[in-house]
Structure 1
């Protein structure tokens, strides 16, 4: 038996045979060309084909993993349209007279290295994306087919690394687990593996072992403790078998909680809602028996396109979600764009520190027409069900008062036009220390608070949560963060409003008792965490 260790990015445990996926990197031949115009035409045709293919992958991914995760392929399409990237390829063709495929290969190498050399681990992971889009264009130029999974037997996929396109194209019924030598928890492939529910290990230390040596071998993946066993012995098989039974039993027990209340043993009821990115995620909300939607991230309607969504387009999306929830609460967060989520049509400039920059409510208050269009769509949808509106990145009472003036203008305009509207609750996100510290004043202006713990943590600790170099210092359980949440909770109840949590900490069952003790009224998590959180609440 041989044992290898790696990093878990998607939980699970399986037995199966190894299938090595991919192989040596394809390096096109370096050739000079006489007719550069013809070569540029070939390049442009390949770029168009690659973009079209990515659009198809985006649609396929929406069905498999939801719109938020499908945006990976929109990001790839935007990368293909990046002027620095395309102009570098064109210059190599025009000035060095290189053939298109080699010009793409060289550009991909340079840009990938730029990302790989960055200090931030999230940005390092983008180096794989650059190689992925470059290889996609090269395949279009050369007619070389993308690697596919052969055979009918379900296998453990072993690879140097996997691209998002390769991951989403695989038949899930034939994949037992993903194991890669490279990769990171921030990679798009890791995100997709989690969304697809496939056990996955990355950064597995194979030492000098060539992956091809392991082709066809019996193996066991322990994607709980981060182990890969090749030809496992009796003891390892026994341990993995026990782990599989425990995981299966846990899933059965969680399934039995559907339809039951989120009530502690001493009778305290907690609302458990779900976070979504689009109407395509509603199936998961219903399947996992969430009590409502505590965070509808509306910004995904704005990304991956050349212009802002119209009022009708937004209304159609909100309407579908509200009607499908059939009376359950749907809280729609207004546009939270900027920072790591950008839309070219907004003309946002590059910023040295985008997390602290021009984003979210700051953009909405400055681009009033954009804001009012969204509010009109939400108010129209509010006539069809139980809707709340939530405003992100609040730091002052003055901001809330400006928002309420615009809200009143929108309501008056709609009523004057004879449009039926509802009476949605208005809430704000507590995701800055400033908002938590003045929560007593803010609570007098709104109907509810929702604590965004992801940003609250990074702003309180002054730590970039995506920088894995700071992992040892990043402590979301830090006393200061819990004190700020408790302060916001106390001030909300003091002023007669309810308070929820919609950041990642909401699903951290190590803190569920703490939040119940604080008096938190609602916890909103990814749909797949609803039942495990219900179990935690019912055990208190």
Structure 2
């Protein structure tokens, strides 16, 4: 039995085989082949496999986002079996005796360059398509696994760490838990695990060795212990722990349909954070009151090129329609920092968390922002929509974003396209600058949503992704809590509501503090709704609020 200690970032006990994530990268080797006929058949097999994959993706896209979204994959199917494309590959294999991988790679570059040199913008865009199709064929030839998991049974997924673009494409039905060498409590792997309600351990370091592949393991997301080849006593103990957790979950199920109200009658809204339309089901089964944060960047992370207005519209419309009149707050594009997307061609930055990201990208590249705003306002005709802008630091940024919203609405009205007249506009408070200026910002918007992950990072000058900082990264730091209190007071003085959509909202040790401060809404992962509701219903703010507010007002040097 081997026990490796890391940091538990999502509670629960997961039991299953360890499986190491297969990253979708393939080194293209070049060599001469003798049996050109066999090599041609290798290519044809990979081509057929790619066409089948694209067909399944088209079906999935049609079900989730409509016919237009499916057309991209259907176009790629046709491109994969284009006769000129095939013939060029066949010639390289037969005449130059190139291996299939090198032949596909060379033809992809040749065709992409040909498309890129054309005057027609539509044909220029096909350069990216032919590269994407060819990469899919190459992945099959090189044995790279699409989605990172080639297992017939669910697994404990192991990795160094996972990027947002990788987590979005995982086959989540095959994941029992996450265990990573790096990462932190606010990494995207941890956030995904909490959304899925499965255990996750980060920071296992070099002790998480690839040779453990396939061995039975137990991940305890509460303690951060990963046990490989557990003995009978350890297995029995952790199995009992899992059963107890399931029993408590069944008890929490009785809270479905109950109000989020304290013993003394104080009510708070409990909403959910989601990352894709598929997550709406989790919101519904966990009795979330609405969606307080829909991370729209999933559309960009899960695409090889900028998603079109119609593709975005279909996704937003699906979420709003499925939520059946409940409030849905969609955050505009938030990439940069740890969420990098190749086709944005963002310059390399020494400190990307402080650089070109989120609203800064939208305001400097208005064509991207305008496309998203059009899709959002079109979707607003199908439900109760709120739009919020991330990474705000100044009043002028908010005014510029609002001006673009008004332009989009005027254009839609001229075109006769319906949109909701009551769309609320809000901002995320996740920089100290926004918190300190929240009295002025409150006059510009309908609501605030506090992003505690970044607010903690920027306030404490601690990289949220750096697990080595340990106790230095302290979301409970008095400075962070005082900023939350300041923001809440400034919001209420100006007649707007304030929520928390960062991971801190689900921290049950702070529920009484947020109630005492007067936060109006907590938006958490779907699996956190019922435990949070339970904590709210057990609180009496008449008893707790005076003590908490006194602690927040206490001179810091006396603590």
- Could you say whether these structures have the same fold, taking a TM-score greater than 0.5 normalized by the shorter chain as the test? yes
Which residue is 2:337 aligned to? 339
Shift of 1:42: 11
Shift of 1:48: 8.1
Work out whether 1:286 is the aligned partner of 2:310. no
- Distance (whole Å) between structure 1 residues aligned to residue 255 and residue 212 of structure 2: 42
Change (3 A) 1:397 1:251: same
Is the 1:440–1:492 contact (alpha carbons within 8 Å) kept by the matching residues of 2?
yes
Unaligned runs of 5+ in 1: 23-27, 64-97, 103-133
Coordinate RMSD, CA, aligned: 5.0
Which residue is 1:361 aligned to? 359
Which residue is 1:140 aligned to? 141
Shift of 1:303: 2.8
Which residue is 2:296 aligned to? 298
Which residue is 1:417 aligned to? 415
Change (3 A) 1:21 1:380: closer
Which residue is 1:94 aligned to? none
Which residue is 2:11 aligned to? 11
- Distance (whole Å) between structure 2 residues aligned to residue 434 and residue 412 of structure 1: 32
Is the 1:46–1:137 contact (alpha carbons within 8 Å) kept by the matching residues of 2?
no
Shift of 1:326: 1.2
Change (3 A) 1:424 1:248: same
Is the 1:430–1:452 contact (alpha carbons within 8 Å) kept by the matching residues of 2?
yes
SS in 1 for 2:238: helix
Shift of 1:450: 0.7
Change (3 A) 1:58 1:478: farther
Shift of 1:349: 1.6
Work out whether 1:308 is the aligned partner of 2:306. yes
Change (3 A) 1:141 1:254: same
Unaligned runs of 5+ in 2: 21-26, 63-97, 103-134, 540-559
Is the 1:449–1:500 contact (alpha carbons within 8 Å) kept by the matching residues of 2?
yes
**Alpha-carbon displacement from aligned partner over 1:332-389 (angstroms, at most 9, x marks no partner):** 1112222222344434222221111122222222222322222222222222221111
- Distance (whole Å) between structure 1 residues aligned to residue 422 and residue 158 of structure 2: 53
Change (3 A) 1:349 1:55: farther
Change (3 A) 1:193 1:511: closer
Shift of 1:148: 6.0
Shift of 1:10: 4.6
Is the 1:9–1:185 contact (alpha carbons within 8 Å) kept by the matching residues of 2?
no
Shift of 1:60: 11
**Alpha-carbon displacement from aligned partner over 1:225-283 (angstroms, at most 9, x marks no partner):** 3263856466x566435423420221102211111111111111100111112222111
Is the 1:454–1:503 contact (alpha carbons within 8 Å) kept by the matching residues of 2?
yes
Shift of 1:466: 0.3
- Distance (whole Å) between structure 2 residues aligned to residue 170 and residue 277 of structure 1: 13
Matched positions, count? 467
Question: What is the correspondence of 1:376-387 to structure 2 with a 5 Å cutoff?
Answer: 376-387=374-385
SS in 1 for 2:529: helix
Select the residue among 225, 244, 247 that pairs with 2:245.
247
> With structure 2 as the length reference, what TM-score do the two structures score?
0.68
> With structure 1 as the length reference, what TM-score do the two structures score?
0.70
Which residue is 1:505 aligned to? 504
Change (3 A) 1:319 1:188: closer
Change (3 A) 1:539 1:410: same
Shift of 1:193: 6.0
Shift of 1:322: 1.1
SS in 1 for 2:258: coil
Change (3 A) 1:232 1:440: same
SS in 1 for 2:471: coil
Change (3 A) 1:298 1:170: closer
Question: What is the correspondence of 1:55-204 to structure 2 with a 5 Å cutoff?
Answer: 140-141=141-142, 172=174, 183-185=181-183, 197-199=197-199, 203=204
Shift of 1:58: 8.2
Shift of 1:431: 0.9
Work out whether 1:529 is the aligned partner of 2:528. yes
Is the 2:31–2:99 contact (alpha carbons within 8 Å) kept by the matching residues of 1?
yes
Question: What is the correspondence of 1:427-446 to structure 2 with a 5 Å cutoff?
Answer: 427-446=426-445
**Alpha-carbon displacement from aligned partner over 1:270-307 (angstroms, at most 9, x marks no partner):** 00111112222111111111111111111222234344
- Distance (whole Å) between structure 2 residues aligned to residue 159 and residue 453 of structure 1: 27
- Distance (whole Å) between structure 1 residues aligned to residue 513 and residue 172 of structure 2: 41
Change (3 A) 1:46 1:470: farther
Change (3 A) 1:531 1:58: farther
Select the residue among 255, 258, 279 that pairs with 2:256.
258
Which residue is 2:92 aligned to? none
Is the 2:313–2:379 contact (alpha carbons within 8 Å) kept by the matching residues of 1?
yes
Is the 2:14–2:198 contact (alpha carbons within 8 Å) kept by the matching residues of 1?
no
**Alpha-carbon displacement from aligned partner over 1:462-498 (angstroms, at most 9, x marks no partner):** 1110011222311111111111111110000001110
Work out whether 1:352 is the aligned partner of 2:350. yes
Work out whether 1:481 is the aligned partner of 2:488. no
- Distance (whole Å) between structure 2 residues aligned to residue 381 and residue 249 of structure 1: 40
Which residue is 1:458 aligned to? 457
